[in-house]
């Protein structure tokens, strides 16, 4: 349904972090879609150019932190002549409600798209009550 429209350029948003990094690096906020189904909450984020092993997903105090790093070694020997987008790592964090089952988080990376599936806790799944 959405395929007919022409794509516009979405400028990358640089991460304004509360805590500063100790090494000079640019961090960008990855575009993220969040959707909910009956039993899970799913986060889909775009992190192009990141290898599987360079992703860290951390859950602490109901805050889900995702950090994805670019391997700059790939750019060695390349001389930039024309630049339209900036290159950097990706980082973003989300505050989760306690409805999430903290042990039931799974992650999957495909073609630069990271999908995090957060299972809802048992008591948060809506239960159908039959009228006796």
Nearer residue to another protein within complex by CB, 95 or 131: 95
d(CA 132, CA 118) in angstroms, rounded, equals 33
Q: Indicate which single residue of 7, 16, 126, 129 sits in contact with another protein (rule: CB under 8 A).
A: 7
Residue 112 binds to another protein (criterion: CB under 8 A): yes
Q: Indicate which single residue of 33, 62, 65, 125 sits in contact with another protein (rule: CB under 8 A).
A: 33
Residue 6 binds to another protein (criterion: CB under 8 A): yes
Q: Per CB under 8 A, which of residues 41..70 are in contact with another protein?
A: 42, 44, 46-51
- Find all residues with CB under 8 Å of 10, minimum gap 6, and list them: 31
Q: Indicate which single residue of 58, 65, 85, 122 sits in contact with another protein (rule: CB under 8 A).
A: 85
Is the Cβ–Cβ distance between 21 and 27 less than 8 Å? yes
Burial class (CB in 10 A: 0-12, 13-18, 19+), 74: exposed
Q: Indicate which single residue of 16, 22, 81, 95 sits in contact with another protein (rule: CB under 8 A).
A: 81
* 40's tokens: 């899970």
How far does CA 61 lie from the centroid of its chain? 18
**What does the binding site for another protein look like in residue numbers (CB under 8 A)?**
2-10, 23-26, 31-38, 42, 44, 46-51, 72, 75, 77-88, 109-113
């Amino acid at each position: 349904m959405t395929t007919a429209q022409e794509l516009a350029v979405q400028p990358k948003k640089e991460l304004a972090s509360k805590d500063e990094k100790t090494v000079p690096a640019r961090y960008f906020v990855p575009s993220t879609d969040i959707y909910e189904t009956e039993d899970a909450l799913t986060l889909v984020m775009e992190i192009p150019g990141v290898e599987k092993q360079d992703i860290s997903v951390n859950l602490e105090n109901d805050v889900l932190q995702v950090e994805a790093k670019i391997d700059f070694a790939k750019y060695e020997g390349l001389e930039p002549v024309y630049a339209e987008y900036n290159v950097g790592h990706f980082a973003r964090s989300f505050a989760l409600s306690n409805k999430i089952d903290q042990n039931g988080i799974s992650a999957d990376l495909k073609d630069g798209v990271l999908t995090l599936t957060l299972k809802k806790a048992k008591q948060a799944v809506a239960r159908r009550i039959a009228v006796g």
